[in-house]
Amino acid sequence: MSTGQVHRGREGAAVESHGEDLLSVLPDEILLHIRLARWRGARGGGVLDLEEGWRDVLAGVAKLKSIHTDSDFGGFSPDEYMHIYTLVYYMCTQKGHKDYPKELYHLCKQALDDHLDSIVLPSLNEKHGNFLLAEMLQSWEKHKLMVRWLRRFFDYLDRVSITWKSLHSLEHMGWIGFRDMINDERNGLLIDRALLKNVIHMCNEFGDSELNSYPEYILKAEECLQKEKEQVYSHSTTEPKDTSDKGMALVKHGTDTAKSRKDKKNEVMVGFPINLISGSRVVDEILGRVPVKAPFTDSTFEFGNSSCNPPDSFGYIPTTSKSFAERLMAPENEDLVVMLSLDLAEELETIDEVYQQISRKGERGSSKLWKFIDHGVKKCTQIRRSITLLGGSPQEIPNYLIR
């Protein structure tokens, strides 16, 4: 199977000027394959598309990264999209190079991490107060668009290689990346009530993206806002009612969503929304904390005392221990751990499918299938040992697969 020649737009022309620089981000293993393919091509036959394929995929990702700085980013045309989709498909299916899905997955993850670390985070660090949160909301919108396009480009990879248990789908990985970035860097920041409502809105969007949210905080926030509203009315009649009603309607939307979700889950919210909901004394009381940079005094806020009290059993659950451990791993080991984790996930998926067959068919023919499972468990054990030695945390082998 060969890839047909596709008309390349200006992006292709622009990329040619980069020469080897564009490919330098690739791991040595891939570069070796490319050089080998080039040598084979020189002798007649062979896969000359390999190097070109990598260049074009990287060029597509590079264009996508401009999403944050280019306000006129208009997406990709069907010609551009199908070209990159076809290359990813080709790299995942050609014979004899089974590592390419892992390299592509790593490339995609790296594109997201680089985008967050080098573009989004610096722009947030330059802002404070309302400007910070406004910038964050804007970054979130652009991040979602980037994740959507990456998912389209690497659609075949997502479908075939990542439907394994240990790896996040590309979409999920995108959401977690954004959440962790904010969580790690912006604890305890002051923001005002107007932006609080937007944060609640964003919490719901995170909820829609498979991340867990704890409805209680949103419900509590509504109660406290309502009490503040009552206090305002008792002291002054100047607050514009339309603005207040609009804000409360937004909170109501959040609480309605939270209530509907409350019946299904009761997990604590982990991540940035809690850390950023600050600046209001009642919210600080809910969270049981006071911002470091701002002394907690009555004169700091415009409202009087509130009777709201945070539930004692609730608390912020930090996730920094895991991320700290991850940061200690050497970069070269991290690449290897990613690939070994893919091997482990693939093997577990395979033997799990066999287990499902045994469950469906009952006793008939099961002894041979159990031999397959035992064999697979041995392989998984070896892979797990390798991952542990490299400083990674391997996925557990389910108990039902061990007899």
Partner 1 sequence: MAAADGTTGEEVKKTIDLVSKDGERFEVARDAALLCKTLRWMIKGGYGRIPLPNVASPILARVVDYLARHAAAAAAMDDDGLDRFDRDFLAGVDQDTLFDLLLAANYLQADGLLDLACKKVAAMMTGKSPEQMREIFHIVNDLTPEEEKEIREDIAWALN
- What is the nearest approach in angstroms of partner 1 to the Cβ of residue 368? 6
Of 54, 90, 164, 206, the one binding partner 1 (CB under 8 A) is: 90
Q: How far is the CB of 81 from partner 1 (least distance, A)?
A: 7
Exactly one of 73, 303, 314, 372 binds partner 1 (CB under 8 A); that residue is: 372
Q: Which of 82, 62, 63 is closest to 3 using CA atoms?
A: 82
> To the nearest whole angstrom, how small is the minimum distance from the Cβ of residue 240 to partner 1?
39
371 sits near partner 1 (criterion: CB under 8 A) = yes
Residues 6+ apart with CB under 8 A from 354: 369, 372, 373, 376
- How many residues form the binding site for partner 1 (CB under 8 A)? 25
Contacts of 20 (CB under 8 A, 6+ apart): none
Sole binder of partner 1 in the list 83, 106, 115, 179 (CB under 8 A): 83
Does 265 participate in binding partner 1 (rule CB under 8 A)? Answer: no
Report how far residue 158's alpha carbon sits from residue 171's, in angstroms, rounded to the nearest whole number. 9
Report the distance separating Cα 381 and Cα 174, nearest Å. Answer: 30
Residue 314 and residue 339 in contact, taking contact as beta carbons nearer than 8 Å: no
Which segment (71-79, 138-146, 285-293, 331-339) binds partner 1 by CB under 8 A? 71-79
- Report the residue number, 77 or 359, with the smaller CB distance to partner 1: 77
In sequence order, what are the residues at sequence separation of 6 or more whose Cβ sits closer than 8 angstroms to the Cβ of residue 267?
A: 212, 214
- Residue with smaller CB distance to partner 1, 376 or 394: 376
Q: How far is the CB of 347 from partner 1 (least distance, A)?
A: 11
Intra-chain end-to-end CA distance of the chain, in Å: 43
Minimum Å gap between C-beta 239 and partner 1 is 44
Selected binder of partner 1 within 86, 123, 333, 393 (CB under 8 A): 86
Judge whether 251 and 222 are in contact, CB under 8 Å.
yes
Taking the complex as a whole, the smallest distance from the CB of residue 89 to partner 1 amounts, in Å, to: 6
Least Å distance between CB 386 and partner 1? 18
**CB proximity list for 228: less than 8 A, separation 6 or greater:** 193, 280, 282, 303, 306
Question: For residue 315, is it left (φ>0), alpha (ψ between -120 and 50) or beta?
Answer: beta
Whether the CB-CB separation of 281 and 229 falls below 8 Å is answered with: no
Cβ contact 151:143 at 8 Å:
no
Q: Is 3 in the site for partner 1 (CB under 8 A)?
A: yes
Structure tokens at 251: 């909170």
Q: Name the phi and psi angles at 293, rounded to 5.
A: -80, -10
What minimum distance in Å lies between the beta carbon of 159 and partner 1? 7
How far is 155 from 84, CA to CA, in rounded Å?
Answer: 10
Largest CA distance in the chain: 87
159 binds partner 1 (CB under 8 A): yes
366 lies in the binding site for partner 1 (CB under 8 A): no
Q: Footprint of partner 1 on residues 6-45 (CB under 8 A)?
A: 6
Q: Which of the ranges 188-196, 266-274, 372-380, 386-394 carries the binding residues for partner 1, by CB under 8 A?
A: 372-380
Q: For residue 191, give the nearest of 262, 129, 107 by alpha carbon.
A: 129
Asked if 85 touches partner 1 (CB under 8 A), the answer is: yes
In whole angstroms, give the CA distance from residue 315 to residue 318: 9
Counting contacts by CB under 8 A, is residue 89 touching partner 1?
yes
* Contact between 4 and partner 1 per CB under 8 A: yes
Residue 361 is a binding residue for partner 1 (CB under 8 A): no
How buried is 157 (Cβ within 10 angstroms: 0-12 exposed, 13-18 middle, 19+ buried)?
A: buried
For partner 1, which residue of 152, 193, 201, 262 counts as binding (CB under 8 A)?
152
Binder of partner 1 out of 29, 113, 155, 334 (CB under 8 A):
155
* Residue 156 vs 217, nearer CB to partner 1: 156
Distance from C-alpha of 359 to C-alpha of 114, rounded to nearest angstrom: 44
Is there binding between residue 356 and partner 1 (CB under 8 A)? no
User: Which residue in the set 16, 70, 79, 208 belongs to the binding site for partner 1 (CB under 8 A)?
Assistant: 79
Nearer to partner 1 by Cβ, of 161 and 278: the residue is 161
Closer residue to partner 1 in complex, CB, 1/328: 1
Q: Which residue has the tokens 């991952």?
A: 387
What are the residues binding partner 1 (CB under 8 A)?
1, 3-6, 77-79, 81-83, 85-86, 89-90, 93, 152, 155-156, 159, 368, 371-372, 374-375
